[in-house]
Amino acid sequence: MTVPLESIALKMTYKSKGKVNPAIKDFSFSVKNNSIFSILGRNGSGKTTFVKISTTQLRPDSGSIKIFGRDVVEEDQEVRKIISLVPQESRPFPFLTPWEHVYYFQKMHGNTREGSKERAQFVMDLLDMESFCDTECVNLSGGQKQLTMVAMAFSLDSQIYFLDEPTIGLDIITRKRVWEAIMGVKKKGKTIILTTHYLDEAAYLSDEICVVSRGKLAKQGTLDELRSSLKHDTRIIIRDSDSRDKLAKYGKVTHDNRGTVLYTDHDAVESILSDKSIRKDKLELGPVGLDDVFISLVGETIEVDEN
C-alpha cells in the first residue's frame, strides 16, 4: 500500500527583497497509514512551510512530497482532491456564520443542498458549536472563530488531514472535544498530520512524533521511543535552592524555563527520598516526558555549576 505521505530530501528557501531564508534544509520522513503524525519544533523551524508545500500552496526548491503516491507539484490537482487543511492563523469571513461556512464549503466541493445542510449540522454537533453556529463570525470570540476553521476541515471526507495548530486559543474543554474529533477521523481509517505547541496534545494523540529543528529533522519515533532515547528515565523539578546542590550527586542538573531540573534514574529515587538533608516537599518527581525530549533536542539548557 502507498504511504499517506512521504517527504524526500525536501528543501525550500524563501527569497524576498534580497533576503534569503532557508526554511527547510532537509525534511525526509514518511508517515504510516491511518496514523496521527505530529510535527513539533520551535517557532520558525519550518512546520507551516512544510504544510504549505504538502497542501500545494508552495513549491519546494528541491526534493519532493508524495501524498498517497501523488507528487504535490506534478499532480497538485489530484492531491487537492484527497486532502483537508486547517491553516495556521486563518480567519473566517466576518459576515458569514459558522454554519454557513461549512454549508458553502460543502457546496464548493460539489455536495448537494441537502447533503451540505446535513454535513454542516453534523460538524456543528461534533464540535459542540450549536450555541453560536448562527452568529456572524465578526461577533464571535477568537476560539469560536478558530473552531469554525476546524469545522470546515472536518466536514470533508478526505484521506489525509493537515491540522496546523488546530487548537490554538481553544479552552481545555473545547480542545478535548477537538481531540475526540481527531480520534474519530482516525477511526474512520484516515491519516492526520498535526503541528502543535501543546506537548500534552501531541503526547495524547500521536502515533508518531517528529521533532524538527532549524529546517531539519531532529528525531522521529513513537512517544516511548523518543522518551527512551533520553539518558535518564526520571525527572525531578527542584523548587528549593538548598536541595539543588545536595541533589547534584544523583544525576544531571540542568536549568530551563521550568526551573532547576535533575535528570536521574528510578533506581536512585529511593536514595533521594531517604536522604534526610533534602526537603521532599520542594521536589516534583515523575517520569521523563515529551517536554524533556523536546528541550533536549531543540532547547537551550544551561548546565548548573555543581561547585
Ligand X SMILES: Nc1ncnc2c1ncn2[C@@H]1O[C@H](COP(=O)(O)OP(=O)(O)OP(=O)(O)O)[C@@H](O)[C@H]1O
The interface partner of residue 185, options being ligand X, Mg ion, none and the CB cut-off 5 to 8 Å by kind, is none
Q: Which residue has the cell 545536595?
A: 246
Query: Does 38 interact with Mg ion (rule: CB under 5 A)?
Result: no
Contact string (CB under 6 A) for ligand X, positions 26-45, x = contact = ---------------x-xxx
CA atoms of 121 and 123, how far apart (whole Å): 6
CA pair distance 65, 8, nearest whole angstrom: 6
How many angstroms separate the most distant Cα atoms in the chain?
A: 73
The verdict on 131 binding ligand X (CB under 6 A) reads no
By the rule CB under 5 A, 243 interacts with Mg ion = no
Residue from 4, 10, 36, 47 in contact with ligand X (CB under 6 A): 47
Per CB under 6 A, the list member of 5, 23, 192, 262 interacting with ligand X is: 23
Which residue, 52 or 244, is less far from ligand X as judged by CB?
A: 52
Check: CB of residue 269 under 8 Å from CB of residue 234: yes
Cell of 60: 519546494
Q: What are the respective helix, strand and coil percentages of the chain, to the nearest 5?
A: 40, 30, 30
How far is 163 from 153, CA to CA, in rounded Å? Answer: 9
Q: Which is nearer to ligand X, 268 or 298 (by Cβ)?
A: 298
Q: Decide if residue 16 touches ligand X (CB under 6 A).
A: yes
Q: Cβ of residue 46: shortest distance to ligand X, in angstroms?
A: 5
- DSSP letters of 248-286? GGGSEEEEETTEEEEEE-HHHHHHHHH-TTS-GGGEEEE
Q: Label residues 246-255 b or e (16+ Cβ within 10 Å = b).
A: ebbebbebbe
Binding mask 79-118 for ligand X (x = CB under 6 A): ---------x------------------------------
17 lies in the site for ligand X, by CB under 6 A = no
With CB under 6 A as the contact rule, the residue among 2, 9, 14, 69 that binds ligand X is: 14
CB 51 within 8 A of CB 162: yes
Show the site string, 59-98: x = touches Mg ion by CB under 5 A, - = not: -----------------------------x----------
What are the DSSP calls for 61-118, one per residue?
SEEEEEETTEETTTTHHHHHHHEEEE-TT----TTS-HHHHHHHHHHHTT--HHHHHH
Q: Specify the residue, 162 or 263, whose C-beta has the smaller distance to Mg ion.
A: 162
CB of 166 to Mg ion, least distance (A): 12
CB of 218 to Mg ion, least distance (A): 16
What is the contact surface with Mg ion in residues (CB under 5 A)? 47-48, 88
Binding site for ligand X (CB under 6 A): 14, 16, 21, 23, 41, 43-49, 88
